[in-house]
Amino acid sequence: MITSFSALVLGIVEGFTEFLPISSTAHLILASRLLSLAQSEFMKTFEIAIQSGAILAVVVLYWRTLLRWAALKRVVAAFIPTGIIGMALYPFVKGVLLENTAVVLFSLAIGGVLLIAFERLFQEKTGLAAIEDISYGKAIGIGLFQSIAMIPGVSRAGATIIGGMLMGIPRTVIVEFSFLLAVPTMLAATGIDLIKNAGVFSSSELNVLAIGFITSFVTAVASIKFLLQYIRRRSFTSFGIYRILLVVAFLLLIGR
């Protein structure tokens, strides 16, 4: 059973990690293991539903950009491949992959190695100055990259950002586009799950969801601002190192 304390911890974890290239889903799964929370149906729903707090953070910070028609059309174009693939694979992801800690750890470690290698080998290009400059073809391509993050541990933000940079989109532009793309993507994931399970939540479970939602929102606002400042001065290499160290630390902890 998820307690108020557990909901608070998981809300902080979700909010801080959602927009960083370190996989919020992996962090929630590993944190749940450390808190001895069973992967029940409600736990899976909770992990998905508190993402709505992070969604609200993006809406609050970027509502003006979301109202720009040219930017919104590119977000919709990028969401289309993710939405189609997500609907097709939703049962498999929730029923199989989210229950497999080995998949999470493997994805975290491989993602960490790829981030480090990417920063060492990739030469960033300059050119696009705004989200509206992204072509629809590139937007769809970004959506395909984001679909890879259906594998828990990959990181939606990481896949989106790296995919965009490989297509020649500057780091600052693709990071902000990743924030915006999270809104329809996470709304779809949250909405499908809540619609299917809304009628089975008890009042205590709704209270737990509320705690996770509020905590996630507040922490996500801080995380977004942190990442925008961070990328102006540093690369993603440290996130790659962190992912690898997290896997090692977790294996050491559960091995005791």
pLDDT at 195: 67
DSSP state of 135: -
Rounded distance between C-alpha atoms, residue 85 and residue 88, angstroms: 5
68 to 71, 72, 74, 114, 131: CA distances (angstroms): 5, 6, 10, 34, 10
pLDDT at 94: 72
Q: What confidence tens digit (pLDDT) does each residue in 25-42 have?
A: 899 888 988 888 877 777
pLDDT at 127: 67
Token reading at 39: 């992967």
pLDDT at 185: 85
pLDDT at 198: 60
pLDDT at 200: 64
With b meaning 16 or more CB within 10 Å and e meaning fewer, what string describes 92-107?
Answer: ebbeebbebbebbbeb
For 3-155, list the strands marked E by DSSP.
Answer: none
Rounded distance between C-alpha atoms, residue 245 and residue 201, angstroms: 37
pLDDT at 123: 81
pLDDT at 46: 82
59 to 48, 63, 80, 100, 155: CA distances (angstroms): 18, 5, 20, 32, 20
What are the pLDDT tens digits along the chain (256 aa)? 788 999 999 999 999 999 999 999 899 888 988 888 877 777 777 877 788 889 999 999 999 999 999 999 999 999 999 989 988 887 788 777 877 889 999 999 999 999 999 999 988 776 677 899 999 999 999 999 999 999 999 999 999 999 999 999 999 999 999 999 999 988 877 776 666 666 666 788 888 888 999 999 999 999 999 999 999 889 999 999 999 999 999 999 876 5
Token reading at 56: 């609200």
HSE (side-chain half, CA atoms, 13 Å) at 143: 25
pLDDT at 12: 96
